[in-house]
Structure 1
Amino acid sequence: MRLSKIIQLLECEVLTIKDEDPEIESVGAADLMSDVLAFGGPGMILVTGLNSPQCVRTASVVGAAAVVIIRKRNVPETTIELAQELDMPLVHARMSMYRACGILFREGLGDSLEEGKHLG
């Protein structure tokens, strides 16, 4: 599924975007960035309630295609600036993690953070 479709489904506010529209293969939902580092990988979209620059940095390290910050929180300018520096698409969905993940699951996206999945 293309990132543009996810933005539409989750009614996201776009904070940073790349010229291309990356294909998203799976979803990783976590607030603990150690889980993302352990089980995340390329082609995933990170859905998180964490709004600090650390979520963008972690997504970049694992090769995630984009970050969705959820809930009705303001996203700090430092987080947006880092996303721009790292060329990481960053969007904001003002809904619960449960709802966001339910919508993406219904649309057929799988779980990126399922233990052992990235090990083949």
Structure 2
Amino acid sequence: MVVKDIIDILEGEVICEGNLDAEIKTACGSDMMSDVLAFVKDQSVLLTGLVNPQVVRTAEMMDMACIVFVRGKMPDQGIIDLAEQRDITLIKTRYRMFTACGKLYEGGLSGGTAV
């Protein structure tokens, strides 16, 4: 799956365009960045309802190509600028976290291996 597929599946709106052809192998849904840091690095997409700069910094540390903000959350310009500098795609979707994760799973994206 690539970022473009995620946009289609989640009926998402691109806020900041990075590499839309980046391969995405797994997904992680969390509002706790400490949990994300414990997650396996594998070109993941991060789904979150948290809108602060720490989300982008965490995604960068974990080599994630894409962040999806659920529940229609919109990050401020500072977060968008940070993502642009780091070539991370930002997407927002109207779906809640559970639904968005389920749609991606149904579309063929896994959650990775158990810890």
Check whether TM > 0.5: yes
Aligned to 1:77: 77
Aligned to 2:67: 67
CA distance in 2, matches of 1:55, 1:40: 16
Identity of aligned residues (%): 38
Shift of 1:42: 3.0
Does the aligned pair in 2 maintain the 1:39–1:115 contact within 8 Å?
Answer: no
Does the aligned pair in 1 maintain the 2:3–2:20 contact within 8 Å?
Answer: no
SS at match of 1:111: coil
Shift of 1:36: 0.6
Aligned to 2:33: 33
Does structure 1 residue 108 correspond to structure 2 residue 97? no
SS at match of 1:109: coil
CA distance in 1, matches of 2:25, 2:96: 21
Matched positions, count = 115
Shift of 1:74: 2.6
Task: Show structure 1 runs of 4+ deviating over 3 A.
Answer: none
**Structure 2 unaligned runs (5+)?**
none
Shift of 1:23: 0.8
SS at match of 1:34: helix
CA distance in 2, matches of 1:57, 1:40: 16
Does the aligned pair in 2 maintain the 1:40–1:64 contact within 8 Å?
Answer: no
Aligned to 1:94: 94
Cα RMSD between the aligned structures? 1.4
Q: Return the TM-score normalized by structure 2.
A: 0.92
CA distance in 2, matches of 1:40, 1:66: 15
CA distance in 2, matches of 1:93, 1:20: 16
